[in-house]
Amino acid sequence: MTTQGSADLVIVANRLPVDRVTLSDGSRRWRRSPGGLVSALEPVMRSNDGAWIGWTGVADDETDPFVDDGLWLVPVPLSAGEIEEFYEGFSNATLWPLYHDVVAKPEFHREWWDAYVRVNRRFAEKAAEIAAKDAMVWVHDYQLQLVPQMLRELRPDLRIGFFLHIPFPPTELFGQMPWRRQILEGLLGADVVGFQLSGAAQNFVRLVRQRVGHKTHRDMVYLPDGRTVQAMAFPISIDTDGFEELARSESVTERAAQIRSALGDPELVLLGIDRLDYTKGIYPRLRAWSELVADGDFSVKDSVFVQVATPSRERVEQYRILRDDIDRLVGRINGDLGRLGSPAIAYMHSSFPRHEMAALYRAADIMVVTPFRDGMNLVAKEYVACRYDNDGALVLSEFAGAANELRQAWLINPYDINGMKDAIVEAARAEPKEITRRMKAMRKQVRENDVASWANRFLEELEAARPSHSKKLRP
């Protein structure tokens, strides 16, 4: 079992890869979150005394470190005030909108920043405490951008990697951030800073040159103390085989048929699955669909749009406003266009396990993914992984990172409602041969680039980053 100072690989993320669930008999236990990240890292963590540091999602949770299914999990507590100021505030009402093209207006509050610094320090101190000498520490995402530098000051022996799961904004937008220099310096504590796309890595290097004044060349930053920092793209992916296997299972196949029959066996099922987030472009997507139905391109008798919106960040004001907007829009569309037993939109505000998601992907003829801005969008890749018959069409926003790899999707601009309508009509009317050609190419891409290869690539870069620190990960 891992003890203090003995972990050779430490993952630091805002959330632990487990949720606390209460069973029907009132007892409580941990349930592994469905994310691909944890399944990708599990093998390498097991063979390297790995530990995962994160928040349990509950206020003032003082749970001691524990082992869950062979993984060593180390909770970091957040108080109710810190949840408000660090998580809902600075992370999700300042950084999130700023990094997503200011789709919503970012709020800048000095108290939120103070909480961000305080909580980042707590994560850094925890990592410093449990990492073995010369260990590798991999810090994840926008909630923890100051951790690399704080950790480097505490433990200069470590190799530190950072990966940003969301977009990194253009220099003009990042410039709004009152604490822009501190954030850049925070990230520069890492040896490797990873982004979803190479454009984001370039934004970062340019900002470091402009705002911090360090020398840079291509993807390298040269610090005055002789250290170098590498900024690179590592497009994240999914557990492709796991999804395909699930999709092929008898129970998913049966469930997919049940779903279609529950929808009244329509000829055409369109599907959207998103966290209920204003970056996802749910509103224009549903408007496009409603216009297509109103114009007579599709009828509610033989087609339906299934929209799943997973509850998210419900105490943040912009998310509440969005929920009300979507509720109202769906109500109006169904009121105007639906018929008895045939709504235009089947809307669910809930989260589903992987099994049900796979069944929905199997049941859908067209998957519609229309974010205004998205770091990657794994739902698009999951849909592709589940379409093992090489059928099914993907309509995908060009502003999702995934559009870089899934070039054969029907690519759309979510700000252009007519363009979106045209793409949906084209996808619905496409010849089977055309659908197959596109899906085959996309499946090849997702098969050859899964989340395990993503994690390995990152860790290999990190291992190579400081050859003087010779410790290698065990495969």
Binding site for ligand G6P (CB under 6 A): 14-15, 141, 165-166, 312-313
Q: Return the number of other C-beta atoms located less than 10 Å from residue 31's C-beta.
A: 12
Alpha-carbon distance of 358 to 246, in angstroms, equals 7
In 3D, which of 293, 281, 289 has the Cα closest to residue 414? Answer: 281
Helices (H), 131-177: 147-154, 171-174
Radius of gyration of the chain (CA): 23
8 Å CB contact between 48 and 474? yes
- Looking at residue 400, the DSSP 8-state letter turns out to be B
Task: Return the structure tokens found at 84.
Answer: 């408000």
Nearest distance in Å: CB 403, ligand G6P: 17
Alpha-carbon distance of 238 to 424, in angstroms, equals 25
In 3D, which of 287, 346, 304, 349 has the Cα closest to residue 323? Answer: 349
Alpha-carbon distance of 356 to 204, in angstroms, equals 38
Rank residues 15 and 206 by Cβ distance to ligand G6P and give the closer one. 15
Nearest distance in Å: CB 141, ligand G6P: 4
Alpha-carbon distance of 165 to 95, in angstroms, equals 13
In 3D, which of 134, 133, 136 has the Cα closest to residue 468? Answer: 134
Rank residues 15 and 227 by Cβ distance to ligand G6P and give the closer one. 15
Nearest distance in Å: CB 275, ligand G6P: 6
Pairing of β 220-222 and β 228-233 = antiparallel
Rank residues 82 and 141 by Cβ distance to ligand G6P and give the closer one. 141
Rank residues 93 and 300 by Cβ distance to ligand G6P and give the closer one. 93
Rank residues 15 and 447 by Cβ distance to ligand G6P and give the closer one. 15
Nearest distance in Å: CB 133, ligand G6P: 29
Rank residues 161 and 392 by Cβ distance to ligand G6P and give the closer one. 161
Nearest distance in Å: CB 230, ligand G6P: 22
Alpha-carbon distance of 31 to 273, in angstroms, equals 22
Nearest distance in Å: CB 138, ligand G6P: 14
Q: Which residue is nearest to ligand G6P (CB)?
A: 165
Nearest distance in Å: CB 432, ligand G6P: 34
121 sits in which H/E element:
helix 110-130
Alpha-carbon distance of 187 to 194, in angstroms, equals 10
Rank residues 141 and 185 by Cβ distance to ligand G6P and give the closer one. 141
Rank residues 214 and 313 by Cβ distance to ligand G6P and give the closer one. 313
Residue pointed to by tokens 């093209």: 101
Nearest distance in Å: CB 165, ligand G6P: 4
Nearest distance in Å: CB 167, ligand G6P: 10
Residue pointed to by tokens 């950072």: 162
Rank residues 256 and 316 by Cβ distance to ligand G6P and give the closer one. 316
Nearest distance in Å: CB 277, ligand G6P: 8
> What distance separates the 2 farthest-apart alpha carbons in the chain?
71
Rank residues 276 and 462 by Cβ distance to ligand G6P and give the closer one. 276
Strands of 120-251, DSSP E: 131-140, 159-163, 192-195, 215-217, 220-222, 228-233
Nearest distance in Å: CB 36, ligand G6P: 11
Task: Return the structure tokens found at 138.
Answer: 């991999």
Alpha-carbon distance of 357 to 374, in angstroms, equals 20
Rank residues 86 and 410 by Cβ distance to ligand G6P and give the closer one. 86
Task: Return the structure tokens found at 110.
Answer: 């000095």
Rank residues 15 and 469 by Cβ distance to ligand G6P and give the closer one. 15
- How far does the chain reach from its first CA to its final CA, in angstroms? 18
Nearest distance in Å: CB 87, ligand G6P: 7
In 3D, which of 385, 255, 371, 277 has the Cα closest to residue 322? Answer: 277
